[in-house]
Each structure stands twice: as C-alpha cells, then as structure tokens.
Amino acid sequence: MDNKPLWFLENIDVNGIFCPNKMKHSPNNNLHKTFKKGEYIYLPEEHADRLYFLTKGSIKIGSYSEDGKEITKSILSAGNVFGELSLIGEKVRRDFAIAHEESEACIVTVDEMRALMREHNGLSLFMMKLLGSRLLKMEQRLESLVFKDSRSRIVDFIRELADDRGQRVGYEMVVRGFMTHQEIANLTATSRQTVTTVLNDLRNKDLITFNRRRLLIRDLEGLK
C-alpha cells in the first residue's frame, strides 16, 4: 500500500483543486466518475493523457507479464493520485488501474493539471513529493526482495498496512477492507500458501485476527 496521502501533510486543498465540480457546476472539464468493483479505469497500451484523484474506495495498480501473469504494484486508498506518469512524459500506459471496490475519482487531463500547477502554489511540490515517495517505495520493495525472506516481507507488509491505513482502537489497530491472500502474495512476491501459513501463525500467536472485511492487529510491538 502507499503511504497516507501526502496532501494531508501540506497546506493544500487537493480535493477542492481536483474536484471543483463534484458538488457544483464548474466551467472546466474536470470529471467526477464512479467505477464499479472490477471495472478498469485504464489498461496497458492505452493513451496516457489523464490523472486521477481517488475520493472514495480503493484502486489496484498493476501490470501483466509476457505470459499473462498479473503483477500487483500497489493498492491505493482514497486521497491518492494515480496515473501521474502521464504528467512527466508517459504517452502510453504501461500498467493498469482497476477498481478494487466501488470507487469514485476526479479526473483531469495533463493540460488541465499543468494549468492547476501554475495556478496553485505548492501543487508542483506536492506532485514532486508524490513521485519521489513512490520511487522510494519501489526501491524499498526491491531491497526487501533481495535481503529479506518471505515471512519477513509479509510481516513488514502488515506493519506498513497498519501505518498506512490503520485506525487505533485502544491498544489495537484495525485495518478495514483487508485484502485477499493472493493480493498480499502479489504485493510481497510470495505465494498464496505462504501468506496463509504466516497469517495463521500470527493469529495462533494472538498477534492478529482477520477476516475478509478487516484486519485487527492486537500487538504491533510483537510484530516488530
């Protein structure tokens, strides 16, 4: 998962910038669109000319190998921007974006985004930080693949999930909308069977409990 949306750390009303016509008519062409669960927002080889600001739900970003195997790169929650590579010269999509659940997004073209960046001081810095944070995240995943075993990668993923999306309930952390074991396997470069084994072991040790709708981390320090 990506970190908590960067715009929370900035004095920027990103929702107001990206979605000026969500609640009322706006003279520009910004769109606010709903996507059903499993609906593709874009596919590889499609023309890359838009950016998306996710206002509700979650989106899976991934690609396909030559043999058709799906590679999950990230699952983004509300408040995140995706499709941003079109802003720095990507002409054709190399990955896909699909609604992980029913989701809503505001859509701007590259030209509109550049105009918004000229109009709103700080938005350019926000986008630079966004790109930088995603690059850092990919480097950390690569290092994890090289230096850590499967169990460590899965445990680290759970800890990152708690940091990114967790809500504290007393001494515990709850993450709503937990992923499938296969999705976790895709994100940690492990197998579904390994994910199941590790999660069950953590549950048996009373460190976590989980079902399809939520993950409850009982002892975050114990995971460390």
Buried b (16+ CB within 10 A) or exposed e, 143-162: ebeeeeebbebbbbbbbbbb
Q: Is residue 110 part of a domain?
A: yes
Q: Is residue 1 part of a domain?
A: no
CATH at residue 203: 1.10.10.10
> Based on the domain organization, do 213 and 119 belong to the same domain?
no
pTM of the model: 0.76
Q: Is residue 108 part of a domain?
A: yes
CATH at residue 23: 2.60.120.10
> Based on the domain organization, do 14 and 105 belong to the same domain?
yes
> Based on the domain organization, do 39 and 135 belong to the same domain?
yes
**Among 94, 115, 145, residue at a domain's last position:** 145
Spatial contact of 196 and 188, defined as CB atoms under 8 Å apart: no
> Based on the domain organization, do 110 and 197 belong to the same domain?
no
Q: Is residue 173 part of a domain?
A: yes
Spatial contact of 8 and 77, defined as CB atoms under 8 Å apart: no
> Based on the domain organization, do 167 and 115 belong to the same domain?
no
Domains held by the chain: number:
2
pLDDT, position 162:
85
**Nearest partner of 32 among 8, 4, 60, 56, judged by Cα:** 56
> Based on the domain organization, do 40 and 130 belong to the same domain?
yes
Beta strands in the chain (DSSP E): 31-35, 40-42, 50-56, 58-64, 70-77, 81-82, 96-99, 103-109, 167-169, 172-176, 208-210, 214-217
Cα–Cα distance measured from residue 166 to residue 133, given in angstroms and rounded to the nearest whole number: 19
**What would the pLDDT profile of 193-206 be if each residue is shown by its tens digit?**
999 999 999 999 99
> Based on the domain organization, do 137 and 153 belong to the same domain?
no
pLDDT, position 1:
47
**Among 127, 145, 163, residue at a domain's last position:** 145
**What would the pLDDT profile of 7-35 be if each residue is shown by its tens digit?**
444 556 777 788 876 544 444 455 889 99
> Based on the domain organization, do 92 and 172 belong to the same domain?
no
**What would the pLDDT profile of 106-159 be if each residue is shown by its tens digit?**
999 999 999 988 888 788 888 888 888 888 888 888 888 888 999 999 999 998
Question: Which structural domain, as residue segments, surrounds residue 32?
Answer: 6-145
pLDDT band for 191, please (50, 70, 90 cuts).
very high
Cα–Cα distance measured from residue 173 to residue 163, given in angstroms and rounded to the nearest whole number: 9
pLDDT band for 104, please (50, 70, 90 cuts).
very high
pLDDT, position 84:
92
pLDDT, position 2:
47
pLDDT band for 163, please (50, 70, 90 cuts).
confident
> Based on the domain organization, do 40 and 132 belong to the same domain?
yes
